[in-house]
Amino acid sequence: MRPIECTNLKRILVTRTDRIGDVVLSTPVFQAVKERYPESHLAALVLKETEAVVRGNPSLNQVIVYDKKGHEKSWWRSFLFGVRLRKENFDIVIHLHPTNRVHFISWLANIPVRIGYRRKNHYLLTHVIEEKKWEGRKHEAEYNFDLLALIDVSKPEELELYFPLQDKDRELLMNVLPSGFNGNHYVVFHPSASCISKRWSPERLANVADRLVQNYGVRAVIVGEGAGTLHAAQMQKFMRKEALNLGGKLNLGMLAWLLKGARLLISNDSGPVHVASAVGTPVISIFGRNQPGLGTTRWRPISPNSSFLQKDVGCIECLAHNCQIDFKCLKDLQVEEVLEEAKRYEPFLV
């Protein structure tokens, strides 16, 4: 693998084409690259679904949206996307998440230096390193800097997440909130997650919400998008206290504003955890899967006012949705344990 001539890096592209939380956890990369190469033109390529995470980031000069589920869904459209990308004349691309398509696109774009992991069609890259994220020895936000070492960008001592808050999204949020909503004394609950092996019981989460409403006089706000709207409705059904269900009513920017104003977020391991961390909201994240690469070492919230709960039930390998012991790691977590953890955040709740 030939050395990279760092003095020639004038136009830099960073790609991250997976979920919301993954992109949020990649935001320290943009700041670090820009500090190392302040005169560079720095661009991020993300999916349409995560554009709000990077649009307005002060370290970025450009955001490129890859509409994989829409306009660029077919391989032919992706081919044309890659050809169009040639006009940007990037000197280098760093793929923080390996996919066949982004490797193919950067090769089509004729970007001379293409950095990524030895996965997928990595033969289209010019510089590769072994991916060891499955070992779960450090946080996802730290793993991103393994690639950046190739261009002399060091991991900062403190990793700071960033989410750009837009005024237009705040106005949209105000339009969906009911009149008389107490905008500074509420707790947000996110009962959804990408896999059943990450979703705590909505009934138990509803019980937690009821108790916090009773004990602290806060208002419970439930969020969820896509399939998460069903999980939000399930949680609301189990509640005895009144709750505001915003499931299916928020875009990503609106969610960020809602979280910024919240006293606390209690959520399964999912994207909103990292959005809340980025906007400075205290977080309790609930984990099920306890296995290197899947658990808290790699995916915990990393903001100062954050914590997590996870039960070790002795699993050697997590089978995710094919769990053979009825998701014991989740079912062993009791309501009282979550309430006890919430006491750590009493200064924010009262």
The reply to whether 161 falls in a domain is: no
Q: Mean pLDDT, to the nearest integer, of 91-117?
A: 98
Confidence (pLDDT) at 182: 67
Let me know whether 109 and 191 are in one domain: no
Quick one: 2 exposed, middle or buried, by C-beta within 10 A (0-12, 13-18, 19+)?
exposed
Let me know whether 145 and 215 are in one domain: no
The reply to whether 118 falls in a domain is: yes
The reply to whether 106 falls in a domain is: yes
Structure confidence by residue, pLDDT tens digits, 119-161: 999 999 999 999 999 999 999 999 999 999 999 999 999 999 9
In the DSSP assignment, the letter for residue 306 is E
Provide the token pair at 230.
Answer: 């069903």
pLDDT category at 74 given cuts 50, 70, 90 is very high
Point out the domain boundary residue: 103, 126, 151.
Answer: 151
Amino acid at 277: S
The yes-or-no verdict on residue 224 having pLDDT over 70 is yes
The reply to whether 162 falls in a domain is: no
Does the pTM exceed 0.85? yes
Structure confidence by residue, pLDDT tens digits, 251-293: 999 999 999 999 999 999 999 999 999 999 999 999 988 888 8
Let me know whether 143 and 220 are in one domain: no
Q: How far apart are CA 140 and CA 134, in angstroms?
A: 10
Let me know whether 58 and 119 are in one domain: yes
Let me know whether 219 and 290 are in one domain: yes
Let me know whether 339 and 299 are in one domain: yes
Structure confidence by residue, pLDDT tens digits, 21-34: 999 999 999 999 99
Query: How many residues are given for the chain?
Result: 350
CATH of the domain at 145: 3.40.50.2000
Paired with 44 in beta bridges are 14, 63
Q: Do residues 247 and 223 lie in contact, with contact meaning Cβ atoms separated by under 8 Å?
A: yes
The reply to whether 340 falls in a domain is: yes
Instruction: Please report, in angstroms and rounded to a whole number, the separation of the first and last CA atoms in the chain.
Output: 57
Structure confidence by residue, pLDDT tens digits, 304-324: 899 999 998 777 677 777 776
Let me know whether 52 and 174 are in one domain: no
Contacts of 13 (CB under 8 A, 6+ apart): 43, 44, 45, 64, 88, 90, 92, 93, 94, 106, 111
Let me know whether 121 and 174 are in one domain: no
Confidence (pLDDT) at 321: 76
Confidence (pLDDT) at 3: 84
Q: Which residues of 197-230 are buried (b: 16+ CB within 10 A; e: fewer)?
A: bbbbbbebbbbbbbbbbeebebbbbbbbbeebbe
Let me know whether 284 and 334 are in one domain: yes
Contacts of 269 (CB under 8 A, 6+ apart): 193, 198, 285, 286, 287, 288, 299, 308
The reply to whether 157 falls in a domain is: no
User: Using H for helix, E for strand and C for coil, what is the string for 60-119?
Assistant: CCEEEEECCCCCCCCHHHHHHHHHHHHHHCCCEEEECCCCHHHHHHHHHCCCCEEEEECC
How many structural domains are present in the chain?
2
The reply to whether 213 falls in a domain is: yes
Let me know whether 188 and 319 are in one domain: yes
The reply to whether 291 falls in a domain is: yes
Domain that holds residue 215: 168-349
Structure confidence by residue, pLDDT tens digits, 181-192: 867 799 999 999
Let me know whether 180 and 258 are in one domain: yes
Let me know whether 239 and 127 are in one domain: no
